[in-house]
Amino acid sequence: MNNIENLFDYSVGQFEAIDHLLTMGVGAHLAALVFFLVCSQFVAPKYRVATALSCIVMVSAGLILVSQAGMWTDAFAFNGSVYELQDLTFSNGYRYVNWMVTIPCLLTQLLIVLNFTGSTLFKKATYLILAAWGMIITGYIGQLYEVSDISQLYIWGAISTVFFVIMNFIVGTSIATAKSTLLGGTQSTIMKIFWLMMFAWTLYPIAYLVPAFMNNADGVVVRQLLFTIADISSKVIYGLMITYVAIHQSAASGYLPAQQVLGRLATDKKAA
């Protein structure tokens, strides 16, 4: 994939900004992985798959970002004044491979904490995953043209947006349908999760369109910044909020470890 990242030379500041952003993404996902592993013991079996899916997301995204960070430092070398491209090129295509795994996981864990089960869970998850894959695949095709044909970038981006809207519609209606079933006073949290998803997922199409409105080295920095904010928001922060909902619902349904950890947290808060 010939991304715009390979078209420019970079100042020391620009190169290191991107390197640091990618490294920060790796650190955030690995730290969250440890947190989710620890918290899994406090989640009732009914919701534990949601926590396991967060762990899968952290591993998958973390490994891809490690690859991205290594590829960035391997693709460019300092010539005494700027960083210039070497024989190896940098590609954002690996992000799309990662999203094919992580987005279905993120959507499925939302359905689980919304208390969907059985055939309803399977049906909704299937529709969401198909919409997500349609969005990702058409977006991937569009980025193939970001250097050679901006009109194709727009066309495939528009097709991807159709799937994006369908996916968000299913998410919104699912939350509206199931919000009343939530336990432990988590209804307001689930709405915050919805708006977090809308914010984070909107950053990805903006990053996709950077070649159309900021086709220079600064634009590359902006794109990687958008990707990093979106990754941490839509995976790490989202996962933390899903875990919050899972633990509170576990406690409200009588799961003792969840009640105990929430009781300790409340005691610690009062003591502080």
Residue 171 one-letter amino acid: V
- What's the CA gap between 104 and 216, in Å, rounded? 33
By mean pLDDT, which of 20-24, 25-29, 79-83, 267-271 is the weakest? 267-271
Say what angle helices 118-143 and 187-208 make with each other, to 10 degrees: 20
- Name the token pair of 232: 């941490």
- What's the CA gap between 14 and 76, in Å, rounded? 12
- Where helices occur in 76-184 by DSSP H, the ranges are 93-113, 118-143, 150-178
- Name the token pair of 207: 């990053």
Contacts of 15 (CB under 8 A, 6+ apart): 76, 78, 83
Please check the confidence at residue 271 and state whether its pLDDT lies above 90: no
Residue 40 one-letter amino acid: S
Closest by CA position to 107, among listed 68, 153, 53: 53
Q: Tell me the pTM.
A: 0.94
Closest by CA position to 248, among listed 190, 167, 170: 190
- What's the CA gap between 93 and 31, in Å, rounded? 25
- What's the CA gap between 89 and 101, in Å, rounded? 24
Question: How wide is the angle at C-alpha 59 spanned by C-alphas 71 and 102, nearest 5°?
Answer: 90
Please report, rounded to a whole number, the percentage of residues in the chain having pLDDT higher than 90.
Answer: 95
pLDDT tens-digit readout, 115-128: 999 999 999 999 99
pLDDT tens-digit readout, 197-249: 999 999 999 999 999 999 999 999 999 999 999 999 999 999 999 999 999 99
Q: What is the DSSP letter of 81?
A: S
- For 38-51, b where at least 16 C-beta lie within 10 A, e where not — what string? ebbebbbebbbebb
CATH superfamily of 4-271: Rhodopsin 7-helix transmembrane proteins (1.20.1070.10)
Cβ contact 208:157 at 8 Å: yes
- What's the CA gap between 127 and 223, in Å, rounded? 30
